[in-house]
Amino acid sequence: MAIQLSGRRKQTITTRGDHYTVNQIIHAFADWYFTGARAASRSTSNYPVLAARYVNYCLEQNVPLLFGVTTYKELVRKSYISPVNRFLVFYQERGCPPVIADSPKEKRVPAGNELVLQFIYQAGSLRGDESKATYQKSLNAFFDWLEGKRANGHTLVGFDAVGVEQFMAEMRQRRYSAFTINLRLSALKALARFVLENPRKFPLDDDQREGLAAIEKVNTLSLEQIVYKDALSVEDRDKLLSDCDDPETKAMISLMVYSGLRTVELTRLQVQDLDMQTGIVYVLGKGKYMREAVKLFRHSIEAVQELLRQRSDRQGKGLLFPELSTRKIRRLVDAALAVSGLKRQGISAHSLRHTAAQLLLEKGVDGIYVQQHLRHARFDTTQMYTRKKSRELYLNKLPDD
């Protein structure tokens, strides 16, 4: 059905039956809101964008648009609520029509087959649309290659360790970068684990299970360029914390070195963002408009509880670190590092975040989970941390003569 929108920029949009898509309802809201004196600010105002974020949040949480604001306002900055309130006035005036999600953008890579599709949308380890699209593209490349091999008579080639190694060899012959090959291998390993962990959905015989399990043992290629961030060892981390006498500094450092918080995230952290019982801290990340759940480790819980015991006025609300700026945090960390004898070139406040990542990887935690923990938008950012341990092993394991 067609609807004529009123306002300075009149246009006709077609809804899906009795529904609006998110894009359609936001266009209608903009035409309603930007009239009269507001018309000149239409091209520069962020009201439509912030309203769209709210609508998408409600759809993702399966919450009616009129009632989602109660929980939404706890997750975003106060300045983001005014556009939402204006949108809700418009929405009620329109009679609260049903709203559905926009269709996927055409540029999104389609899944190469049903197996890839199930993995992408059911694997909880993949964080964000960009990570899903990256893995989807990598898996599609393998299955496109596999289909081509079979079409040329290589019927025995399959999704197993032998097939994956042959796929990697041909990519090397075609001069793909080691990073691209490793990324595709990582996606294939994750897909193999997904299949093996769901035997009822994917019944396999013994040979198939063995072939898939062997994919995990396929070695990645060494990267020609070693890029990693400096970090503390477990012993240095523990010494830094044990030498720290100030409760505020200890709580701050603990959150950085265990939960990987950035300095700017510490300055935004509210007391109510820390759920001590469930072991979760809700972090408003760099460039983000919504708080994300991050694991809160036992040491950090104890450090924060000690800090709050000394500040009874802030037991329930307000900033956890009300007097700290990012500059002051860096100075306090540098001072603590110096007291512990750990201050050196390449070690700074941001190194504590790198330490959180590096130590998790050294304990064998999958890079996908470390990506979630540090809230990296791109998996290749997380991969930068994986090189340090191999260099240390090289330096320490070779004999002296």
Any domain includes 225: no
d(C-alpha 99, C-alpha 21), whole Å: 5
Residues 42 and 170 in one domain: no
Question: Tens digits of per-residue pLDDT, 45-59?
Answer: 788 888 988 998 889
Predicted confidence at residue 32, as pLDDT, reads: 92
In a domain? residue 142: yes
Range of the domain at 76: 2-100
Within a domain: 108: no
Q: What local confidence, expressed as pLDDT, does residue 344 receive? A: 85
Q: Are strands 12-14 and 20-21 parallel, antiparallel or unpaired?
A: unpaired
Whether this model's pTM surpasses 0.85? no
Q: What is the pLDDT of residue 6?
A: 34
Of 56, 74, 100, the last residue of a domain is 100
Low-confidence stretches of the chain (pLDDT beneath 50): 1-17, 105-112, 224-228
Total residues found in the chain within this entry: 401
Per-residue model confidence as pLDDT tens digits over 354-389: 888 888 888 888 777 887 888 776 666 666 665 555
pLDDT value for 315: 53
Residue 229 counted as domain residue: no
CA gap 291, 63 in Å, rounded: 18
Give the pLDDT score at 172: 86
Q: Look at residues 59, 78, 100 and tell me which one is the last residue of a structural domain.
A: 100
382 plus 317 within the same structural domain: yes
pLDDT at 128: 59
Q: For residue 104, give the amino acid letter.
A: P
Are 236 and 308 a contacting pair, CB within 8 Å? Answer: no
Regarding whether 142 and 16 lie in a shared domain, the answer is no
Q: Where is 115: in which H helix or E strand?
A: helix 114-122
